[in-house]
């Protein structure tokens, strides 16, 4: 980790850890007076239940808002809620909360516990709560938590720490037995770091399609040998009622009062805080004599204030590896991004000014302020269109959720679809037959609607199903079981398959002709020209890298890495035809390089192996748990 990264991480540990812990299951706090989500959902609505543990609407919304704020902080105001919904952030957060509950349930089942002393020990290790190596005291501890955005109470923060520790212990108890031998480690290190430069001659089957043909006899013969490949899958046909969100959005009236309220409620989204740009020179004190380091820093400060080039001084003396080579430039940053002492000094300076020595937990800094930007707020008029669309979307989603809940109570059997639709100004529609993975007429791709259609029994009606267009209630009106079709039904598909097969064979034969000329050639480039083909030369690439015209091709890379430098391969089969490769250059890692990186690499490999094992373990653990998701409540809470 670079020194700058650590400065930023330690100074705003809580802010960034909360964004991280949002993914690692720590709950966020919103003041008690917010008793509803503001989107038609009641705070006590249950979004999901995992083994008897509820995930309530207010908890989901807090986590959702915190994650949204983290994205806005990182990407700016253009990262609005509507875009986040399109990216599926709501589903990701729901999955994270469900996974957290499942992990807690599994920890309880295994008897994993966290003591108060362990919670305290973790808190006392957080740099933000330390001063001169000692805890800052309860009053300042509470003050720091309440200053976060959103603010935190001590009990909520400590419960988050407890839960985080519980999950760490669970993961350790499940995965700490895993290990990796030195032999495995070295083989994987070489696989990831050895590099090769290739000359690649690709023979794409598609380019040979004009050279092949398929007779009726070819098509018939191929079909007889591959009937199973053309099997028609199970299909369903449904009647459905759609609560169309787009239709509702078009009718939403956004008033000036709506705009003003939304603007004021989200003013942070449109506010750019004061920022400064600074460069610094850092002399670290860790493991060194403080007085000696300070004396050297004072000498450098004297040079800087005497007119020496600050950037050159930083390149020569600064021990912050992340920016010393750039003259100590830290780019622009806002308040709270650096440790407090650095932050205070930088924001009290004027452009061009050089500070006195600034002491932080990292050492002695000399700061030069290069620029300062005043804070600003975009006016309502400037963001009016964006806000209008956002409000329309939120109101339409809320109205759709309410209407779906109303229909839920009215539709109990297939005949109710017509009655309820008519009573609410909607229309019953019917699809054609569709397979599980096909788009549905009038709705489009909807995996959940398809899955429900194939799970419903005759005479059943689904509850509200969330789709890309809104909420759907469906009942099955037709079933078509899978079958092997007659050739006439799929003749075009079979014909295309025959052409593809012949083109691949043509490509392989052409590659074999060229390979025979290249393998024994004294002058590879001359032989290429004589064969009438071209080779594309790669950079030095690792075994997992994509190859020009071929993409990621493990079999080709495996063969290439076995060849000596200058070696030419036999014909290699690819997904699109065939290829020949020549090794232009090899760059292998040394034993010394492996030895110097061995410990760090072992940690990386073990972490990856343990993460994958733990994920697989939790997938199996969740299969034994009862997990219910209330899609209607979820739709209401996110708006």
Tell me how many degrees the CA angle 588-590-591 measures, rounded to the nearest 5. 140
Residues above pLDDT 90, as percent of the chain: 62
**Same-domain status, 18 and 166:** yes
Dihedral angle, C-alpha 476, 478, 482, 487, nearest 10 °: -140
Query: What mean pLDDT is predicted for residues 39-55?
Result: 71
**Same-domain status, 162 and 27:** yes
**Same-domain status, 64 and 169:** yes
Half-sphere exposure of 10 (CA within 13 A, CB side): 22
Instruction: Answer for the pair 243, 463: CB distance below 8 angstroms, yes or no.
Output: no
36, β-bridge pairs: 42
Residues 6+ apart with CB under 8 A from 299: none
> What is the C-alpha separation between 477 and 240, in angstroms, rounded?
10
Following DSSP, what letter does each residue of 284-308 receive, concatenated? E-TTS-HHHHHHHHHHHHHHHHTT-
The confidence score (pLDDT) of residue 149 equals: 59
**Same-domain status, 169 and 40:** yes
Q: Is the pLDDT of residue 111 over 90?
A: yes
Give the three-class secondary structure for 358: strand
Q: Is the pLDDT of residue 5 over 50?
A: no
Peptide bond into 150 cis (omega under 30): yes
Residues 6+ apart with CB under 8 A from 444: 467, 468, 469
> What is the C-alpha separation between 402 and 396, in angstroms, rounded?
10
Instruction: Write the pLDDT tens digit of every residue in 49-68.
Output: 998 888 888 778 878 777 77
The confidence score (pLDDT) of residue 72 equals: 65
| pLDDT tier for residue 313 given thresholds of 50, 70 and 90 | very high
Instruction: Write the pLDDT tens digit of every residue in 210-257.
Output: 999 999 999 999 999 999 999 999 999 999 999 999 999 999 999 999
Pairing label, strands 134-135, 130-131:
antiparallel
> What is the C-alpha separation between 327 and 279, in angstroms, rounded?
7
CATH number at residue 145: 1.10.4030
The confidence score (pLDDT) of residue 233 equals: 95
Give the domain-ending residue among 374, 390, 423. 374
**Same-domain status, 338 and 360:** yes
Most confident of 42-56, 125-139, 552-566: 552-566
Residue 607 lies in a domain: no
Least confident span in 269-278, 532-541, 605-614: 269-278
Residue 288 lies in a domain: yes
Query: What mean pLDDT is predicted for residues 110-138?
Result: 88
**Same-domain status, 415 and 367:** no
Query: What mean pLDDT is predicted for residues 28-36?
Result: 28
The confidence score (pLDDT) of residue 254 equals: 94
Instruction: Answer for the pair 365, 261: CB distance below 8 angstroms, yes or no.
Output: no
The confidence score (pLDDT) of residue 496 equals: 96
CB neighbourhood size of 224 (10 A):
10
Q: Enter the tokens of residue 592.
A: 């010394």
The confidence score (pLDDT) of residue 445 equals: 87
Instruction: Write the pLDDT tens digit of every residue in 407-444.
Output: 999 999 999 999 999 999 999 999 999 999 999 988 88
Instruction: Write the pLDDT tens digit of every residue in 609-625.
Output: 999 999 999 999 999 99
**Same-domain status, 141 and 39:** yes
Residue 419 lies in a domain: yes
Least confident span in 4-13, 71-80, 144-153, 340-349: 4-13
**Same-domain status, 524 and 506:** yes
What's 173's DSSP letter?
Answer: H
> What is the C-alpha separation between 542 and 536, in angstroms, rounded?
17
Query: What mean pLDDT is predicted for residues 127-139?
Result: 83
**Same-domain status, 48 and 67:** yes
Cα R_g (the chain), whole angstroms: 32
Q: Considering only residues 442 and 111, tell me which one the structure prediction assigns the higher pLDDT.
A: 111
**Same-domain status, 415 and 559:** no
Q: Considering only residues 484 and 90, tell me which one the structure prediction assigns the higher pLDDT.
A: 484
Following DSSP, what letter does each residue of 605-639 receive, concatenated? HHHHHHHHHHHHHHHHHHHTS-EEE-HHHHHHHH-
> What is the C-alpha separation between 548 and 546, in angstroms, rounded?
7
Give the three-class secondary structure for 200: strand
Nearest to 449 by CA among 434, 618, 457: 434
Residue 137 lies in a domain: yes
CATH number at residue 304: 3.10.50.40
Residue 321 lies in a domain: yes
Count: domains in the chain: 4
The confidence score (pLDDT) of residue 74 equals: 63
What ranges make up the beta strands (E) of 195-306?
Answer: 195-204, 235-244, 271-272, 275-284
Query: What mean pLDDT is predicted for residues 147-164?
Result: 81
Q: How many residues does the chain have?
A: 639
Domain limits for position 523 = 195-209+491-587
CATH number at residue 397: 3.10.50
Phi–psi pair at 458, nearest 5 degrees: -60, 135
Residue 215 lies in a domain: no
Q: Which residue has the tokens 């400064």?
A: 276
Query: What mean pLDDT is predicted for residues 122-151?
Result: 82
What ranges make up the beta strands (E) of 397-543?
Answer: 428-430, 465-466, 470-480, 536-537
Pairing label, strands 470-480, 134-135:
unpaired
What's 343's DSSP letter?
Answer: H
pTM above 0.85, yes or no: no
Nearest to 550 by CA among 194, 208, 200: 200
Q: What is the mean pLDDT of the chain?
A: 86
Residue 389 lies in a domain: yes
> What is the C-alpha separation between 299 and 308, in angstroms, rounded?
12
In which element (H, E) is residue 65 found? Answer: helix 57-75
CA 477 from chain center: how many Å? 39
CA 627 from chain center: how many Å? 24
Phi-psi region of 517 (alpha: psi -120 to 50; beta: other; left: phi over 0): alpha
The confidence score (pLDDT) of residue 78 equals: 57
**Same-domain status, 67 and 134:** yes
> What is the C-alpha separation between 25 and 21, in angstroms, rounded?
6
Give the domain-ending residue among 480, 502, 523. 480
Give the domain-ending residue among 349, 374, 399. 374
In which element (H, E) is residue 498 found? Answer: helix 491-519
> What is the C-alpha separation between 173 and 168, in angstroms, rounded?
9
Query: What mean pLDDT is predicted for residues 378-389?
Result: 91
**Same-domain status, 58 and 94:** yes
Residue 431 lies in a domain: yes
The confidence score (pLDDT) of residue 40 equals: 41
């Amino acid at each position: 980790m670079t020194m700058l990264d650590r400065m930023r991480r330690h100074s705003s540990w809580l802010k960034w850890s909360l964004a991280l812990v949002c993914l690692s299951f720590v709950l966020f706090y919103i003041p008690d007076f917010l008793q509803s989500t503001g989107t038609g959902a009641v705070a006590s609505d249950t979004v999901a239940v995992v083994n008897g543990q509820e995930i309530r609407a207010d908890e989901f919304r807090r986590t959702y808002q915190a994650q949204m704020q983290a994205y806005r902080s990182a990407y700016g105001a253009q990262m609005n809620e509507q875009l986040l919904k399109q990216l599926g952030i709501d589903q990701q957060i729901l999955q994270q909360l469900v996974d957290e509950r499942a992990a807690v349930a599994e920890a309880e089942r295994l008897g994993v516990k966290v003591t108060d002393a362990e919670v305290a020990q973790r808190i006392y290790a957080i740099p933000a709560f330390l001063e001169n190596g000692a805890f800052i005291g309860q009053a300042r501890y509470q003050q720091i938590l309440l200053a976060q955005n959103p603010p935190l109470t001590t009990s909520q923060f400590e419960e988050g720490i407890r839960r985080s520790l519980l999950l760490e212990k669970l993961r350790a108890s499940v995965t700490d037995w895993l290990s990796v031998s030195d032999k495995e480690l070295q083989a994987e290190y070489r696989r990831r770091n050895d590099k090769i430069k290739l000359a690649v001659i690709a023979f794409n089957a598609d380019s040979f399609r004009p050279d092949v043909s398929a007779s009726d006899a070819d098509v018939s013969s191929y079909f007889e040998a591959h009937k199973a490949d053309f099997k028609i899958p199970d299909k369903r046909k449904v009647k459905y009622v759609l609560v169309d969100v787009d239709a509702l959005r078009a009718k939403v009236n956004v008033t000036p009062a709506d705009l003003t309220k939304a603007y004021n409620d989200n003013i942070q989204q449109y506010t750019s805080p004061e920022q400064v740009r600074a460069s610094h020179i850092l002399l670290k004190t860790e493991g060194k004599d403080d007085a000696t380091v300070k004396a050297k820093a004072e000498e450098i400060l004297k040079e800087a204030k005497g007119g020496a080039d600050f950037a050159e001084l930083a390149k020569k003396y600064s021990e912050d590896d992340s920016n010393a080579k750039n003259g100590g430039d830290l780019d622009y940053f806002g308040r709270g991004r650096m440790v407090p002492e650095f932050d205070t000094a930088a924001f009290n300076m004027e452009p061009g000014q050089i500070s006195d020595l600034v002491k932080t937990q990292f050492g002695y800094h000399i700061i030069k302020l290069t620029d300062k930007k005043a804070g600003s707020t975009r006016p309502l008029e400037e963001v009016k269109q964006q806000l209008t669309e956002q409000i329309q979307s939120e109101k339409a989603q809320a109205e759709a959720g309410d209407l779906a809940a109303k229909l839920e109570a009215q539709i109990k059997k297939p005949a109710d679809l017509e009655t309820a639709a008519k009573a609410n100004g909607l229309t019953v529609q019917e699809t054609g037959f569709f397979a599980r993975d096909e788009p549905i007429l009038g709705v489009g791709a909807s995996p959940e609607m398809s899955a429900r259609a194939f799970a419903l029994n005759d005479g059943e009606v689904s509850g509200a199903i969330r789709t890309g267009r809104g909420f759907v209630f469906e009942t099955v009106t037709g079933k078509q079981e899978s079958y092997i079709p007659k050739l006439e039904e799929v003749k075009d598909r079979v014909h295309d398959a025959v052409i593809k097969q012949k083109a691949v064979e043509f490509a392989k034969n052409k590659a074999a002709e060229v390979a025979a000329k290249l393998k024994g050639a004294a002058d590879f480039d001359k032989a290429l020209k004589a064969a009438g083909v071209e080779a594309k030369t790669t950079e030095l690439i690792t075994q997992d890298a994509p190859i020009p015209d071929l993409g990621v091709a493990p079999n080709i890379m495996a063969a290439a890495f076995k060849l000596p430098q200058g070696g030419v391969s036999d014909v290699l089969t690819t997904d699109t035809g065939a290829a020949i490769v020549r090794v232009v250059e090899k760059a292998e890692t040394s034993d010394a390089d492996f030895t110097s990186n061995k410990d760090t690499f072992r940690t990386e490999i073990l972490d990856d192996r343990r993460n994958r094992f733990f994920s697989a373990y939790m997938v199996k653990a969740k299969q034994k748990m009862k997990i219910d998701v209330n899609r209607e409540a979820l739709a209401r809470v996110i708006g």
